[in-house]
Amino acid sequence: MRDEIATALKQATKDQDKRRVGTLRLVNAAIKDRDIANRTAGKEAASDDELRQLLAKMIKQREESAKIYAENNRAELAEAEREEIAIIKTFLPSQMDEAEMAAAVAEAVAATGAKAMSDMGTVMAFLKTKHAGRMDFGKANGLVKSALTAG
């Protein structure tokens, strides 16, 4: 994943795509920060799963910023955030739709034998290990709650 981002940065620099260059430099800086944090904690460099989680977090931050900009009639800033989101998303696997998420939650509940809300952490941990980078865990949280309260 690091090589893919580095290659994309080189190409964006050659193409003189300022938005893409700036966004990819921010991504590289975030990756280096994560690697430094891991090293100081005595861990190895961030894995691809950790990088996917980092990119998902960056997307979520930009979505929140775009929403705030749109609410305050700053359409140009909101659009800039959306462009960065589109660039970052190219490095993530495609996200699950609602039906896929519901099926994954049902599978996780069955696989873990979850029966009550006290089992929610077990179900979420199962989903995070199996569907990291492809699932919006904020939405999944609601689906797991409804599955456990309905069952």
Quick: pLDDT tens for 97-114: 888 888 988 898 888 888
Quick: pLDDT tens for 14-32: 999 999 999 999 999 999 9
Helices (H), the chain: 2-15, 18-40, 48-71, 75-89, 98-112, 120-131, 137-150
Topology of domain 2-89, per CATH?
A: Hypothetical Protein Yqey; Chain: A; domain1 (1.10.1510)
- Domain boundaries along the sequence of the chain: 2-89, 98-150
> What is 98-150's CATH number, 3.40.50.20, 1.10.600.10, 1.10.10.410, 3.30.420.40?
1.10.10.410
pTM of the model: 0.70
Residue 151 pLDDT exceeds 90: no
Residue 132 pLDDT exceeds 80: no
